[in-house]
Structure 1
Amino acid sequence: MLNFILKRLGLAVLVAFTVSFISFSLMFLSGDPAAALAGETASDQDVEAIRVLYGFDRPMLVQYWDWLSSALVGDLGESYYFKLPVSSLIAERLQVTMLLGLCGISFALLTAVPLGVAAAIRPNSIIDRIALFLSVAGQAMPSFWFGLILIVVFSIQLGWLPPSGTATWRHFIMPTIVLGYYAMPAIMRLTRAGMLEVLSSEYIRTARAKGASEFTVLFKHALRNAIIPVVSLAAVQMGFMLGGSIVVESIFALHGAGYLAWESIARNDLPTVQALILVFSLFYIVFTFLSDVLNAWLDPRMRAG
């Protein structure tokens, strides 16, 4: 198990360095950052002054090395627009996004996995049809439309929940439902398909023939194997929720890291954009690494492979 973890950790570190270089290079591939900062009405002298001021006149590899060396010690530069250290700015905004992402993936798992298991136990039943309906609706319904409908119903008409803000836990109920509901269909379908495949296996029939209880068969033998691909999918979905929550944060006025990314792109705040791309990518890498370790613990065949 230790060798497996070390191999996956080494691969994760290699991917992280690759992603850091790509995220840094994207800012220069999209055009001249000095011209973008100077604005459309700036003269050539102004553009050149900004290029020298921010060090854009140096070779890109030299700029990348300086940026990476500072990033490794927690210094991500200073925001051009907010005039604050990028690390403190992201740390403050990331708390909202992390809380929203954890609530969203928890809601998705606690809803989709039981529904997927129930649908697999009783295929073609009313429960299976309800799960199928929720899965199709979740894929077809845009998250911004769903969020606005919830605001109209539960905030404006019924007055049960606040429409925006982060003051109390009640402010996160509707954003959690919107964000989690988007991840539910894939998790539900994968759980159902995995359970159907596992329940038809020989070892499940053997366990039942030996007199094992239905609870033991379903949750100790079947679900343990069927949940393995769900763990990997949940890790990817969690990374997506953190990086792609900009729509939900905008609808419910949650000033998290996703909304900060939109603000930084709109205002050509290059240090903040670069840092956010790196942070969101690292979340994907970390969650994928943790899912690999958890899957290896659940399935010893992965460790042997």
Structure 2
Amino acid sequence: MFISKSLRGLRDFAFVLAATMTVLFFLLRLTGDPAVVLAGEGARPEQIEAIRVEYGFDRSLIVQYGSVMLRLLQGDFGKSLVDGTPALEKVLASLPATLFLAAMAITVNLLISLPLGAWLGQKQEGAPRRIVRGALTVLQGFPGFVVALLLINLFAAGLEWLPSIGYGGPATWILPVVSVVSFLAPKLIRVVEANTHAALAADFVRTARSTGASDGWILWRHVLPNALLGAVALIGAELAFMLTGLVVIETIFAWPGIGWLLVQSTLNLDFNVVQAVVFVMVVSVFVSNAVTEAVQALLDPRIRVGGRAAS
């Protein structure tokens, strides 16, 4: 069962990857002529044509497509049209910055969302909980890039406490991480809150209370681990989002990750680098989803038992 499921997953991944790279190829050709960009301003028509011939842009789209797909199957993404660096090497050099931002955001998100969601999920009510829920509702309506711009205006341009661009010391990490977490945390907090509320009404909690266990012990030993099971899928989805959806945040903060590289390469019509970035993003999402499923199976024995029963 596990092997057949893995094979189906690889088959689906191969289909999605091929379809994505195909659509991307034709969309990129609609954005403009990279030979004009490479030639620069004031270039003569014969210079532009010579560049087209040199890079193969003078051939038909079908021929170019076949050539590109054949090279991709061989793991050859070509070289950057801007600086001649191997395209995949350029992308992999930018990937650690994105992974670092994603890791920091996930860590901070968990440190905030798990205890706050567990606290909100308890039956007690009062003004503090109503205020927190109201703040979460407001944050859910703000995209991460809006929060990023507000933070820059306040802490960078206004108070001048923090830098707004770059990828240097810890001071440069704060605003990007807060911007990402402000978008992700409300959703995870809501899920943990709902799961905590449901777990507190479960039979195993009443059994634990009958043995004399304290409310704090029940919450952290029994309720929160069960609440986390339902949140693993969301955490995995948020991780996949950060590996592909931080383009705007990275651009705002000039964070040198693959999102920022994608924007710069698109503006420069650097087709090879754009294709390499999208390839790495698709692979990253696949790996993230596979890891999420593995963690779910590890944390919830019912998934493993169900898989064996079905086989």
CA contact (8 A) 1:191 1:230 kept: yes
1:13 lines up with 2:10 in the alignment: yes
Aligned CA-pair RMSD: 2.8
Determine the C-alpha separation between the residues in 2 that align with 1:192 and 1:97.
29
- 1:253–1:189 CA distance, 2 compared to 1 (3 A): same
Q: Which of 180-189 and 7-16 deviates more?
A: 7-16
What TM-score, normalized by structure 1, do the two folds share?
A: 0.86
1:30 lines up with 2:54 in the alignment: no
Shift of 1:186: 1.0
Counting only pairs closer than 5 Å after superposition, residues 196-211 of structure 1 correspond to structure 2 as 196-211=197-212
Q: Give the 3-state SS of the residue equivalent to 2:265 in structure 1.
A: helix
Determine the C-alpha separation between the residues in 2 that align with 1:246 and 1:24.
19
Query: Number of residue pairs matched?
Result: 298
Determine the C-alpha separation between the residues in 1 that align with 2:101 and 2:66.
36
Instruction: Give identity over the alignment, percent.
Output: 26
Gaps of 5+ in 2: 38-43, 307-311
Aligned to 1:253: 254
Determine the C-alpha separation between the residues in 2 that align with 1:8 and 1:283.
19
CA contact (8 A) 2:32 2:269 kept: no
Q: Which of 264-273 and 229-238 deviates more?
A: 264-273
Determine the C-alpha separation between the residues in 2 that align with 1:127 and 1:250.
36
Q: Give the 3-state SS of the residue equivalent to 1:212 in structure 2.
A: coil
After superposition, what is the alpha-carbon deviation per residue over 1:262-300, rounded to whole angstroms, capped at 9, x for unaligned? Answer: 112222222211111121122211111111111111111
Aligned to 1:93: 94
- 1:52–1:34 CA distance, 2 compared to 1 (3 A): farther
Determine the C-alpha separation between the residues in 1 that align with 2:7 and 2:89.
28
Determine the C-alpha separation between the residues in 2 that align with 1:31 and 1:178.
30
CA contact (8 A) 1:34 1:48 kept: no
Shift of 1:36: 3.2
Shift of 1:226: 1.5
Aligned to 2:182: 181
Determine the C-alpha separation between the residues in 1 that align with 2:124 and 2:60.
63
Aligned to 1:79: 80
What TM-score, normalized by structure 2, do the two folds share?
A: 0.85
Gaps of 5+ in 1: none
1:213 lines up with 2:214 in the alignment: yes
Aligned to 2:309: none
Determine the C-alpha separation between the residues in 1 that align with 2:94 and 2:203.
51
After superposition, what is the alpha-carbon deviation per residue over 1:136-165, rounded to whole angstroms, capped at 9, x for unaligned? Answer: 122212323322222232223333222221
CA contact (8 A) 1:162 1:171 kept: yes
Determine the C-alpha separation between the residues in 2 that align with 1:272 and 1:236.
25
Aligned to 2:72: 67
Aligned to 2:290: 289
Amino acid in the other structure paired with 1:77: G
CA contact (8 A) 1:249 1:258 kept: yes
Determine the C-alpha separation between the residues in 2 that align with 1:164 and 1:47.
35
Determine the C-alpha separation between the residues in 2 that align with 1:23 and 1:145.
29
Determine the C-alpha separation between the residues in 1 that align with 2:224 and 2:136.
20
Aligned to 2:268: 267
Shift of 1:46: 6.7
